[in-house]
């Protein structure tokens, strides 16, 4: 999608409303025309004229960028949940990513774009201005919210609930108590999917020092086989050793790596429950929802539920569609949002 130019407002009948989830690992968009798309949160620029000739594109996104990482300057702009301060390439990558997502859902330059953008909670606090700069060339009116709040809104969890969004770079928590959440109602920790990847990588290096694998392969192992608690049978994966493919048993290491994030998640959840008025804590305990890619770890919801149930009846559920839950919620928010809540990016 070509960049917009600052111009007078277009006809109100030519509006598109979109919800965008700018995640560390995946970014997704849901649009009012019914289109939904997602892409891995990687952006790559060809390194030199040879790369430009080979790739045939000025910029690559998602899996295509990752698959060609030897030929591109690869950027993962929200690697730790925030746009790294002072690194303009990260901000430029977010800008390119937003433009690409809008193009994927068929947004037109002539349309007036109202966008609700969901980001990790820490990014909302630290990078709201940078995000605004990154999207202002494509979007006319904007609201930036946290990913767990967007997921909560889409599910109708507006009161007496906690949403835990377990992403790649961060795990984000949001308290819902019948009003727009404040900074105090949201928190971020960095024990999330990437942390699991690092733990698993080092465990496998210790166990199989002669085997040849990288962090991207380990991430794929996790996405296919992650679990907490118990698992039936062995988890075996193919890894080359001296150029020969061999089966490796990673069952124990997978469980230990995935469970490494649990203490921090449970501790923060208990602290947030304690912040509610005692009269409502029992209700909140039975209204805890997991979102984000990490919510798909086998046994995770039940494990957390069992631990928290030691202090009282608890119910932990998982969103139906973790890829689009925040984007769909952001779109619902964009469709319901009163005009006075929007930030007009075309105003001087």
Per-residue model confidence as pLDDT tens digits over 197-215 = 999 999 999 999 999 999 9
Domains of the chain, earliest start first: 12-153+325-344 (3.30.420.40), 193-259 (3.30.420.40)
> Which pLDDT score is estimated for 340?
78
Using the predicted structure, report yes or no on whether residue 127 has a pLDDT greater than 80.
no
State the residue for tokens 């966008």: 115
Least confident of 102-116, 120-134, 177-191, 253-267: 120-134
Q: Give the orientation angle of helix 147-155 with respect to helix 325-336, to 10 degrees.
A: 70
DSSP 333: H
pLDDT band for 55, please (50, 70, 90 cuts): very high
> Which pLDDT score is estimated for 53?
93
Closest CA to 220 of 197, 243, 248, 199: 197
Average pLDDT, the chain: 89
Percent of the chain whose predicted confidence (pLDDT) is above 70? 92
């Amino acid at each position: 999608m070509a960049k917009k130019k600052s111009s007078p407002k277009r006809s109100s009948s030519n509006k598109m409303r979109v919800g965008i989830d700018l995640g560390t690992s995946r970014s997704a968009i849901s649009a009012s025309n019914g289109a939904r798309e997602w892409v891995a949160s990687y952006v790559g620029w060809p390194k030199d004229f040879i790369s430009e000739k080979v790739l045939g594109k000025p910029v690559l996104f998602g899996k295509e960028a990752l698959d060609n990482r030897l030929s591109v300057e690869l950027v993962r702009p929200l690697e730790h949940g925030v746009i790294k301060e002072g690194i303009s390439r990260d901000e430029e990558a977010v800008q390119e990513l937003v433009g690409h997502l809008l193009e994927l859902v068929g947004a037109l330059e002539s349309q007036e774009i109202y966008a609700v953008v969901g980001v990790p909670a820490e990014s909302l606090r630290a990078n709201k201005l940078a995000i605004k700069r990154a999207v202002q060339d494509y979007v006319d009116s904007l609201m930036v919210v946290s990913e767990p709040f967007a997921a909560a809104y889409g599910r109708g969890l507006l009161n007496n609930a906690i949403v835990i969004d377990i992403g790649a770079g961060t795990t984000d928590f949001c308290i819902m108590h019948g009003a727009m959440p404040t900074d105090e109602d949201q928190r971020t920790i960095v024990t999330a999917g990437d942390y699991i990847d690092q733990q698993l990588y080092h465990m496998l290096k210790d166990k199989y020092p002669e085997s040849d694998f990288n962090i991207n392969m380990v991430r794929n192992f996790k996405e296919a086989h992650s679990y907490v608690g118990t698992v039936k049978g062995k988890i075996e994966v193919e890894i080359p050793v001296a150029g020969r493919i061999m089966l490796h048993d990673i069952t124990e290491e997978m469980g230990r790596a995935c469970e490494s994030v649990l203490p921090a998640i449970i501790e923060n959840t208990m602290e947030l429950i304690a912040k509610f008025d005692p009269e409502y804590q029992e209700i909140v305990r039975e209204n805890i929802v997991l979102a984000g890619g990490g919510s798909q770890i086998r046994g995770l919801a039940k494990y957390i539920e069992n631990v928290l149930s030691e202090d009282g009846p608890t119910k932990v559920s998982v969103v139906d569609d973790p890829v689009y839950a925040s984007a769909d919620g952001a779109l619902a928010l964009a469709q319901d949002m009163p005009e006075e809540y929007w930030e007009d990016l075309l105003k001087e």
